[in-house]
Structure 1
Amino acid sequence: MRLSDDRLRAALRAEAAAHRPDREAMLDRITTAAMRDTGAGHRRAARRGPRVRMAGVVAAVVVIFGGGGVGTWALANSIDRDEPDPAPTAAPATTTATPDATTPASVTPTTRATSKPAPTRTAPTRKPSSAAPSPSPVKGGPGNTRVRQGPLWSDGSVDPDSGDTSGASIVTVKTAEDLAAFEVVIRVARTGGLISRGGTKSTPGASVTTTVIEEADAILYRFTLSSADTLTPGTYTFTAKYGYPSGGRDAGGDTYEAIATTAATESLNVYGNFYPTD
Structure 2
Amino acid sequence: MKDEELSGLLREAAEAHRPDRARMLARIERGMASGRPAPRSVRPPRAVRPWLRVAGATAAVCGVLAAGAFSVTWAGDDDRAHGGQVASAPSPAASTPAVRGGLRPEDGPLWTGGVVDPHSNAYWAQSNVTLRTTEPLSALTVELRVARTGGVNSTGSWRSLPERDFTVSVNESGGYLVYRWTLRAGRTVPAGTHTFAGQYNHAEGDRDATGDYVTAHAVRASGGKASVGDHFGRSR
> Does structure 2 retain, via aligned residues, the 8 Å contact 1:139–1:257?
no
Q: Tell me by how many angstroms 1:209 deviates.
A: 1.8
Q: Tell me by how many angstroms 1:220 deviates.
A: 0.5
Which residue is 2:99 aligned to?
140
SS at match of 1:140: helix
Q: Tell me by how many angstroms 1:153 deviates.
A: 1.1
RMSD: 1.9
Aligned equivalents of 2:142 and 2:177: distance in 1? Answer: 14
SS at match of 2:196: strand
- Tell me which of 190, 197, 219 is aligned to 1:239: 197
Q: TM-score, normalization: structure 1?
A: 0.50
Query: Stretches of 4+ moved more than 4 A in 1?
Result: none
Aligned equivalents of 2:220 and 2:179: distance in 1? Answer: 23
Superposed, 1:193-232 pairs within 5 Å as 193-204=151-162, 207-232=165-190
> Does structure 2 retain, via aligned residues, the 8 Å contact 1:194–1:243?
yes
Aligned equivalents of 1:206 and 1:176: distance in 2? Answer: 22
Q: Greater share of strand residues, 1 or 2?
A: 2
Which residue is 1:174 aligned to?
132
Aligned equivalents of 2:207 and 2:153: distance in 1? Answer: 12
Distance change in 2, residues 1:265/1:205 (3 Å) = farther
Q: How many residues align?
A: 147
SS at match of 1:256: strand
Q: Tell me by how many angstroms 1:204 deviates.
A: 4.4
Which residue is 1:84 aligned to?
none
Distance change in 2, residues 1:164/1:244 (3 Å) = same
Give a deviation string over 1:138-179, Cα, whole Å, max 9, x none.
2333x6340011111111111111011000111101111110
**Share of identical aligned residues, percent?**
40
Superposed, 1:1-278 pairs within 5 Å as 130-135=87-92, 136-141=95-100, 144-204=102-162, 207-275=165-233
Amino acid at match of 2:177: I
From the CA coordinates, give the structure whose radius of gyration is larger.
Answer: 1
**Alignment gaps of 5+ in structure 2:** 1-85
SS at match of 2:113: strand
Distance change in 2, residues 1:197/1:139 (3 Å) = farther
Stretch of structure 1 that moved more, 152-161 or 201-210: 201-210
Give a deviation string over 1:171-208, Cα, whole Å, max 9, x none.
10111111000011001111011111122111149711
SS at match of 2:209: coil
Amino acid at match of 1:198: G
